Structure 1
């Protein structure tokens, strides 16, 4: 049997703040997610984004401590077009999230921007630029 990537897990300081951020990016979590110690959103293709509170991790790993620095994980969200990268970036920054890298036209043919989630993880927003090849969504 070959292992298959199935879950991306993030340990979060403030579950409600993380839920608000990722819901703005279109992820669907259970309605009562903010009162749970562990929540999951199923992504297209079946991969799961799991959020655990620091207390949850300490419940089974008492010696666990958060990394000294933040931002060890990076996620990327494909947008429908360059204009959506710009508008979503502006919406997130206006909502108080840190804009790390303003939208720009990358040399590899994408409109690209980076914001930070509430725990300092980089979240990239991207879309193909007109005239550049569109890479298909990965298939399972």
Structure 2
């Protein structure tokens, strides 16, 4: 059998805060999900994004140390350059921290990078006109 890429997992110190951040990026996360120790959201195309509390991970890996940042980044297409700017500003209000303010990149995109409340990198982008 060939392995199939299926899930991206993130660990969160505060699921309610993390979910508020990712809801602003269009993820359909029910309000009651913050009370759960493990939550999965199915993304377009079937890939799943899983969120676990630190306590959940420590339940099977007692030596787990929660670190922030340094892992993979999640990238979101905001549709338009203005969409990058408004999404970036909105995410700053729900626990996002700026890494790169929106700018017109030489490769033809409006681009920005933030970290989510747990230090995971989130890239925002949209094609520049013409």
Distance 2:31 2:12 in 1: 18
- Indicate the residue corresponding to 2:105 in structure 1: 106
How far did 1:66 drift?
Answer: 1.8
Residues in 2 aligned to 1:73 and 1:82: alpha-carbon distance in whole angstroms = 23
Q: Distance in 1 between matches of 2:22 and 2:15?
A: 11
TM-score, length of structure 1 as denominator length: 0.86
Deviations 1:21-48 (A, max 9, x none): 0011110123310110000111110000
In the alignment, what sits opposite 2:115?
116
Unpaired segments of 5 or more residues in structure 1? 132-140
- Equivalences, count: 130
**1:80-101 Cα distance to aligned partner (Å, 9 max, x none):** 1111001111122244521111
Query: Are 2:103 and 2:111, in contact at CA under 8 Å, matched by a contact in 1?
Result: yes
Unaligned runs of at least 5 residues, structure 2 = none
Give, in whole Å, the separation in 1 of the partners of 2:117 and 2:70. Answer: 10
Q: Secondary structure at the match of 1:29?
A: coil
| Conserved 8 A contact 2:95-2:116 | no
Task: Using CA pairs under 8 Å that are at least 6 residues apart, name the structure with larger relative contact order, 1 or 2.
Answer: 2
Q: Are the equivalent residues in 1 in contact too, given 2:17–2:95 (CA < 8 A)?
A: no
Shift, 1:63, TM fit: 1.6
Indicate the residue corresponding to 1:42 in structure 2: 42
| Deviating 4+ runs (over 3 angstroms) | none
Note the aligned Cα RMSD (angstroms): 1.4
1:116 Cα offset (Å) = 1.1
Secondary structure of 1:32's partner? helix
* Separation in 2, partners of 1:56, 1:41: 17
1:77/1:94 CA distance change after superposition, 3 Å: same
Preserved CA contact (<8 Å) 1:71 1:119: no
> Which residue does the alignment assign to 1:83?
82
